[in-house]
């Protein structure tokens, strides 16, 4: 007779049940963790990538598609969202040589980079160095070891992001939102906020500066940031510091989509960072030593100093801008480069013609503002008026503002700026009009939807008025060079059409160096009453259009050169 098996004691049965339950719980937790990790990976693949898409006003898109062809304009639109693959450095040959600067840069870049960027030259531009970057890279998003805990994040403004893509760091004013508890030294993921339409028809970022990010789908702009991840950085300040400070680096980028060397404070006075078409523009003007040249819209001074260097600092270069601070920037740059022939004046280019002036050397008035350190200021002399009577606090505050900002100035930088009453007609041998424009050729560009067909037409109207002044100021036998940094034919080819049809004594001149492509031929019917005329076939080859899609990989830019014959009434 077989004996019955011994029964396990109740305590052992309980332990086994607990083990099975615990094992089942671990399996469930592991599955859940894997699901979360998969979700993070899927989310990261979409959110943490840089795949921007430039959106346009539908009517503007139709207009550009007609000018370029739909397929080509699509490629232009894509190219505008990324920076050029190189930086151009123009050498100040008055102080140094291209060979010497090349050697200095190589030494500097080898010290800063394990794999220093390539530096090259173009025989057509002997004073220019190309410093090549790399990209696009695909910075990986590394979440916290616990999948449910995301990396701390920072959202920056679109304008800040465009600078970062060109090699800049993230400065305090550009930070819009930030995760809670970010401390100095923390790694952060950096994304971009793009403007959104408002109910009133305008555009806004729609983010209150200082907004807290929680890393959840409830965050502001959580979905909108898909494809707008530009890399990782290290916080230089705590969250509190970022939103309290007025200036300084907030985040140092350590892993970027595009790696372009920064040349901030590098070889000051010896080099100038400038877009290739802008360098070409000054050479197309072909200024000669001893001539009198006008740069009508000169800030920040890049083309002005290029002209002066080509003239070997012999002659006179007049630089105009209507902003006090921008005139100061021009003078500061000229001083850094040790250029003596530049005179900068505060003057609106539309008011640059003065028919009553007969003496070209008429004295210009000067305005002066003073920089005041309020912490070191003795207030004794501000407390009393000329008769020794004590002043009210309101009057004292007004005097303080006047001392800080200068008479009639708002936040001016200080020092002297000369005002001009304008210039007599036919005063200049050559005139450069690098006109204010829609700037739709600048790269990288992450937003363009604010421009409409009407706003583009207004740019063209303003430029024609400025061109009229240029025609008045240049002497017969002189030269006018017109340039813009936009892809808009209404501001480029249409301006040339206006100039040739309005002024019979103007002719298009060949350009040297000729690096860009031909202009756009044809016309576009904007509405029932207006057709915009562009160039004829014979004229298209005489202008230069720089296409962001071309092998030159430049910004969008346009240059036209006019020879001035014997003048007569238009």
Q: Which residues are annotated as a binding site for S-adenosyl-L-methionine?
A: 297-303, 321, 348, 434
DSSP 8: P
- Torsion over CA: 533, 536, 537, 540 (sign): negative
Measured distance CA(287)–CA(295) in Å, rounded:
11
The catalytic residue among 88, 178, 437, 485 is 485
CA angle 381, 386, 390 (to 5 degrees): 65
Q: Is 42 exposed, middle or buried (0-12, 13-18, 19+ CB in 10 A)?
A: exposed
The 3-class secondary structure across 465-498, one letter per residue, is: HHHHHHHHHEEEEEEEEEEECCCCHHHCHHHHHH
What is the three-class DSSP state of 177?
Answer: strand
- b/e burial code for range 129-167 (CB count within 10 A of at least 16 → b): bbbebeebeebebebeeebeebbbbbbbbbebbbbbbbb
Residue 560 parent element (H or E) = strand 557-564
Catalytic residue list contains 485: yes
Paired residues of 293 in beta bridges: 317, 430
d(CA 161, CA 225): 13
Burial class (CB in 10 A: 0-12, 13-18, 19+), 269: middle
Tokens found for residue 274:
């400038």
Binding residues: 297-303, 321, 348, 434
d(CA 491, CA 558): 9
Catalytic positions, please?
485
């Amino acid at each position: 007779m077989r004996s019955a098996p011994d029964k396990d004691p109740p305590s052992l049965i309980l332990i086994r049940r607990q083990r099975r339950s615990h094992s089942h719980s671990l399996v469930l937790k592991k599955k859940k963790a894997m699901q979360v990790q998969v979700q993070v990976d899927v989310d990261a693949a979409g959110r943490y990538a840089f795949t921007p898409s430039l959106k346009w006003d539908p009517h503007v898109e139709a207009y550009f598609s007609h000018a370029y062809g739909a397929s080509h304009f699509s490629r232009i639109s894509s190219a505008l969202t990324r920076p050029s693959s190189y930086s151009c450095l123009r050498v100040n040959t008055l102080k140094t040589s291209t060979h010497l600067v090349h050697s200095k840069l190589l030494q500097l870049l080898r010290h800063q980079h394990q794999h220093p960027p390539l530096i090259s030259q173009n025989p057509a531009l002997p004073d220019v160095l190309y410093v090549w970057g790399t990209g696009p890279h695909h910075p990986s998003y590394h979440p916290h070891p616990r999948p449910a805990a995301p990396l701390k994040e920072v959202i920056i403004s679109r304008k800040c992001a465009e600078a970062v893509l060109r090699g800049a760091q993230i400065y305090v004013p550009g930070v819009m939102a930030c995760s809670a508890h970010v401390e100095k030294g923390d790694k952060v993921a950096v994304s971009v906020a793009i403007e959104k339409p408002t109910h009133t028809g305008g555009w806004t970022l729609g983010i209150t500066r200082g907004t807290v990010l929680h890393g959840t789908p409830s965050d502001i702009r959580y979905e909108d940031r898909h494809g707008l991840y530009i890399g990782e950085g290290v916080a230089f300040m705590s969250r509190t510091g970022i939103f309290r400070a007025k200036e300084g680096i907030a985040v140092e980028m350590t892993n970027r989509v595009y790696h372009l060397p920064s040349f901030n404070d590098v070889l000051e006075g010896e080099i100038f960072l400038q877009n290739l078409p802008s360098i070409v523009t000054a050479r197309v003007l072909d200024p000669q030593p001893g001539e009198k040249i006008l740069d009508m819209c000169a800030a920040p001074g890049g083309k002005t100093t290029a002209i002066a260097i080509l003239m070997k600092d012999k002659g006179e270069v007049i630089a105009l801008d209507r902003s006090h601070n921008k005139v100061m920037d021009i003078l500061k740059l000229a001083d850094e480069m040790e250029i003596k022939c530049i005179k900068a004046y505060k003057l609106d280019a539309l008011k640059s013609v003065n028919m009553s002036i007969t003496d070209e050397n008429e004295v210009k008035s000067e305005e002066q503002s003073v920089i005041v350190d309020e912490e070191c200021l003795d207030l004794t002399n501000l407390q009393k008026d000329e008769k020794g009577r004590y002043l009210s606090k309101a009057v004292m505050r007004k005097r303080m503002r006047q001392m800080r900002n200068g008479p009639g100035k708002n936040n001016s930088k200080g020092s002297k700026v000369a005002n001009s009453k304008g210039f007599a007609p036919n005063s200049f041998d050559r005139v450069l009009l690098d006109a204010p424009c829609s700037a739709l050729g600048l790269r990288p560009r992450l937003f363009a939807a604010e421009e409409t067909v009407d706003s583009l037409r207004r740019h063209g109207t303003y430029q024609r008025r400025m061109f009229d002044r240029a025609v008045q100021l240049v002497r017969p036998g002189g030269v006018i060079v017109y340039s813009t940094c936009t892809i808009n034919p209404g501001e480029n080819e249409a301006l040339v059409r206006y100039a040739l049809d309005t002024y019979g004594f103007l002719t298009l001149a060949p350009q040297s160096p000729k690096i860009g492509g031909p202009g756009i031929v044809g016309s576009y019917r904007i509405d029932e009453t207006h057709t915009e005329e562009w160039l004829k076939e014979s004229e298209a080859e005489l202008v230069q259009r720089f296409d962001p899609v071309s092998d030159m990989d430049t910004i969008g830019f346009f240059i036209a050169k006019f020879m001035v014959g014997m003048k007569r009434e238009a």
